[in-house]
Structure 1
Amino acid sequence: MKKILIPLFSVALMVSCGTSKVSNTTEKPVQTANSGLKGDKAFQSAYKTIKADDLKKNLYVIASDEMGGRDTGSPGQKKAGEYMISYYKGLGISYPKALGSFYQKVPSDFMKKRGGGNLPDSENILAFIEGTEKPEEIVVISAHYDHVGTQNGVVYNGADDDGSGTVAVMEIAKAFQNAKNAGNGPKRSILFLHVTGEEHGLFGSEYYTDNPVFPLANTVVDLNIDMIGRDDAENRGKSYVYVIGSEMLSSELKVINEAANKKTNNLELNYKYDDPKDPQRLYYRSDHYNFAKNNIPVAFYFDGIHEDYHKPTDDVEKIDYSMLEKRTQLIFTTAWDIANRADRIVVDRK
């Protein structure tokens, strides 16, 4: 996640006066005719393919020293991208036909004009499953795969930031592809979007929304995943996830996500940061914002600012793989509903 400097008085205010808005319940979910949880057996079969061991296996590669901290345009980041593409090919998942490959080049000049200094050319990576009934409508599931590289000879592996989101997207893609292979492909198309340049200024997602492979008017939602493998001091040991932005543009998205949560692991959904005026400004600090500013509903899933954020100690050994699995399952369930429901979710808020 992009780092910003926050005045000390703002942090103090947040810690002393902030109250957590949370939601969870033990009630059984109410299923409606419009629910996207079609063919519960098909959903359950796909859902069960999301496993902590598989998330761990991929993260031990993506966040290894071999990737050199995955700085934007670096050889290590490109190596991580090659691993991801090989993974998608192995699943039988391809790229958008209009793009012609898994890569969307993000030019150095584009980043330089936006304060990116002398960053080299880099790439967004796009994998794609075409919808069976409404292929022109696109559900985006995003995460950034860059981190901050190597500093003074020390590798900043970014296992949580955002290795956790990267492997979650990969695992969600596997679940959707398994459903497709069983004859239960999503009604709407799914774009698995791995963006570059987030740490330097949300460059990859900005480039995509400036140069969309699919019309933004056809983009239904962006479910963005940035740090879901740890916990913060405030929620230590809890089964929770922060959700940001889910009702800012659509009155339906928050309802869908909460219903998905009830159906699955019943996590504590924490809305503490779900306010553009929050001093941490998290609504503006990850890639969903470039979709939101184009009037596309978003939900940002996040575990909080922990003690290893942007430090060389953000390593794979510190990931809570059980929580990573549960949060990934929630996001998959939300995506499944949105992709398969009869009607596109509404944009009814500004």
Structure 2
Amino acid sequence: MSFAKINIYRALKTLLSKIFALILLTVTAGELFAQQSEVKMVPSGRNAEKVINSDNLRMQVEFLTDTTFKGRATGSRGAAEVALWISRRYENAGLMPFDGSWSRSFKVGDAVGRNILGFLPGKREASKEMYVIIAAHYDSHGIIDGNLYPGADNNASGVVAMLSVADMFRKMKDLGRSYGKNIIFVATDAKEKNSAGAEALMDDIRNGRLKDPVDGETITMDRIRATVVLDILGSTLEPIHKDRKDFLIMLSDGQYTFDLTRANEGQGMGLDISTNYYGSKSFTEMFHSRFGDQKIFVQNGLVCAVFTSGITMLTNKVTDTADTLDYEVLRKRIFLIFHWLEKIL
């Protein structure tokens, strides 16, 4: 072989090596891009935020506090109509009923109360043994001495927050995301009747009457990982710090406070967070363990976290109306609660 032919051979070999390397680099880069694209397509909780806006929150609170429902007193026609509306909201959110029914009735004196339950299954291989209950009471005081108690903050705000969380989880489900625990959504009745609705729920569980809608297995107390109560959640009248109206109070036994801090910082929520009731140890214990539906859950040995914006001068008054709430702050609170739930599920 001549010297010229050798040079041509070497040049051709070098060129082919470069072409092969370029092809290999292109394929590798393509695979890497595909992997990155897959990562980007993993559903983010941020996607769920798009289904909630402050105007819609206001409309729902205004609806629940309308004079048509006459204060949603337990056993009243107004309360029954609201219970039906909540059932439809559950259905629209893609939840499942228990035993083919959204409603579970119980006696409260001479009246009939109705808890409204909906179920969101988690990953069955991971979630079969674990449940989280999210509860908000929908009853108020009705009409007393001719005066209507609309119950906007207490607790139309909590009901709307719970339904919004259900909508957000529906969005995540549509995007292909599922979680490690099952969620039981409960709109409790008769909180203003010594939390009779929460007690009826616990009685159903204690006596084996609550069955998993997917596999029919009995849901027992030891399989409930946590209970979450949303109660009085829409006001900014009693801030933790005077210069911050965008605040949220979570009362618990301390198990999930770190998760709340991580969600608040990691999602850029930036809310002013407190894990006690305005710095008072005795009031913190009272509102976490001896007050409201949470009292019933704690008495039954369940871990309970309570989200609230605190009692105000309007609580349990005829002036607790829809126009006194801050819906933009309520929206932020709902987002934070949702992102916190994602961390504990």
Q: Do they superpose with TM above 0.5?
A: yes
Confirm or deny: 8 A CA contact 2:251 2:284 kept in the other structure: no
Q: Which residue of 2 aligns with 1:127?
A: 118
1:134-283 mapped onto 2 (5 Å cutoff)? 134-212=127-205, 213=210, 214-233=219-238, 235=240, 237-247=244-254, 250=255, 253-264=256-267, 265-273=269-277, 277-278=282-283, 281-283=286-288
Show the counterpart of 1:87.
89
Superposed CA RMSD in Å reads 2.1
Q: What is aligned with 1:317?
A: 323
Deviation of 1:42 after TM superposition, in Å, equals 2.7
The equivalent of 2:48 in structure 1 is 46
User: What is the CA-CA distance between 1:93 and the residue it aligns to?
Assistant: 2.0
Which structure 1 residue ranges, 5 or more long, are not aligned? Answer: 1-37, 113-117, 340-350
In structure 2, give the amino acid aligned to 1:54: N
CA contact (8 A) 2:226 2:302 kept: yes
Q: Could you give the per-residue CA deviations for residues 2-29 of structure 1, whole angstroms, max 9, x where no partner exists?
A: xxxxxxxxxxxxxxxxxxxxxxxxxxxx
Q: Percentage identity across aligned positions?
A: 25
CA distance in 1, matches of 2:285, 2:192: 16
Give the equivalent residue in structure 1 for 2:339. Answer: 333
d(CA) in 1 for partners of 2:103 and 2:263?
Answer: 32
Deviations 1:308-340 (A, max 9, x none): 11111111111100111111111111111111x
Pair 272,92 (structure 1): closer, same or farther in 2 beyond 3 Å? closer
Taking the aligned partners of 1:161 and 1:59, their CA distance within structure 2 comes to 11
Tell me which structure has the larger Cα radius of gyration: 2
Cα deviation, residue 39, structure 1: 8.0
Partner Cα separation in structure 2 for residue 128 and residue 282 of structure 1: 27
Aligned residues: 287
Shift of 1:186: 2.3
Write the distance in 2 (CA, Å) between the matches of 1:322 and 1:312.
23
Amino acid at match of 2:112: D
**Following TM superposition, by how much is the alpha carbon of 1:222 offset from its aligned partner in structure 2, in angstroms?**
1.0
Query: Structure 1 pair 179/307, CA: closer, same or farther in 2 (3 Å)?
Result: same
Q: Which residue identity does 2:122 align to in structure 1?
A: G
Aligned counterpart, 1:102: 102
**Once the two structures are superposed, what CA deviation does each residue of 1:218-259 show, in whole Å capped at 9, x if it has no partner?**
111111100110023454552111211241xx3xx1111221
Q: Deviations over 1:118-147 (max 9, x none)?
A: 4x0111000111112313311111110001
Q: Are the aligned partners of 1:47 and 1:332 in contact in 2 as well (CA < 8 Å)?
A: no
Residue pair 2:236, 2:325 contacting (<8 A) in 1 also: no
Report the equivalent of 2:31: none
CA contact 1:50–1:172 (8 Å) conserved in 2:
no
Letter in 2 for 1:263: G
Structure 1 pair 39–306 and aligned structure 2 pair: CA distance change class (3 A): farther
TM-score (norm: length of structure 2): 0.78
SS state at 1:258 partner: helix
Bigger drift between 71-80 and 281-290 goes to 281-290
The whole-number CA distance in structure 1 between the counterparts of 2:280 and 2:304 is: 13
Q: Which has the higher helix share?
A: 2
Query: Higher RCO, 1 or 2 (CA under 8 Å, sep at least 6)?
Result: 1
SS in 1 for 2:245: coil
**Structure 1, residues 21-77: CA drift from partner, whole Å, max 9, x if none?**
xxxxxxxxxxxxxxxxx9864322123323222222221211211111011111101
Contact 1:158 1:314 in 2 (8 A): yes
3-state SS, counterpart of residue 193 of structure 2? helix
Tell me the CA shift for residue 155 of structure 1: 1.4
- Are the counterparts in 2 of residues 52 and 321 from structure 1 also a CA contact under 8 Å? yes
Distance 1:136 1:279 in 2: 31
8 Å Cα contact 2:135/2:227 also seen in 1:
yes
- Residue 73 of structure 1 aligns to a residue whose secondary structure is coil
